[in-house]
Structure 1
């Protein structure tokens, strides 16, 4: 009788483990498929990510992949990797009529935060970024701020030319929404200017939502 109970207990555990594994694979099926079909990253990195996303029912982030990389976040529609001390790569699937378009955001954090976004078809073919998204200009961030004629205003314009931005995805929207904020490389003198700091504090973040085919025009996500 005890032997039979042990066998039944083992069978229940085996079935539960199998069910959990299937659930895990189903949860990340879309992103795993995108990694494979679009050949994102090199073969070794794809294998590492697939193994991690399939093996556990619950993941505790960050997950170390090797000495050079960590998986920082993962969801049904995307993931974010730390690829170096100053670099991250984020993959996001954008639903579209002919299959999900893949958005890649590559970010460096030093000496100044800056990001680049590119788009791929489901098979990994590069798509024209300008057809899908028009990124904001310096004037888009300055519009509506009513800058005074001052040395601080002139300095702010100088800091914004050329324009460097951080790109992130909004976490509170069910529709993929891209947030863009300008980043500035301040000198020690800049940091001592209260007037300049007050102007910088007015700079908004701008938001654009995915419509299913393109991104909508940018609007203010935050207000001074």
Structure 2
């Protein structure tokens, strides 16, 4: 069974300019995803899809294959699903068919190797089209998330069938993380969204689910990594 890992990293970022190559404890952010992918015994090849020469150089120096992404697939409005499709087509032309597509976004540097391996295995065992990673949500649409109604007043996003007095009594809900996605290549090529097919998931703890979008996320990831280093010493 061939498992190919992909890291999608654009050069542009409005939330945190240059974030994918920004040094995190002395190492470019993207290298955390590259290193995890290379250390996985389940992954046969690693690719970085980018429109940026500096990102491409870091990837090449790390010994992974670079896929240059067209500019129209590298804007902040470009659906990443289309970049996934472009990468799959490119890789199939060069390396033939493969069984599992694994996306390891550069913005999740705190994932563990076990997160990656578990997602790959769960997708295969459940025969799901895609396995996503989730973290327990801190807010609930059944308890403390509200929306404005047409009359201007506010109401719960989802009204439970009976009154919910404590968040713990509300249905359990999750946030999707960018820790790992494991999917069938054919599912991606024939559909246009995560929930177009059968979806399974792995749950990751909050400390590994940081998704870096702005400087505050970056500083949080840095603090967690520093705490981990101090605990190990």
Q: Normalising to structure 2: TM-score of the pair?
A: 0.29
Of Structure 1 and Structure 2, which has the larger fraction of its residues in strand?
1
Q: In terms of Rg, which structure is larger? A: 1
The structure whose RCO (Cα within 8 Å, separation 6+) is larger is 2
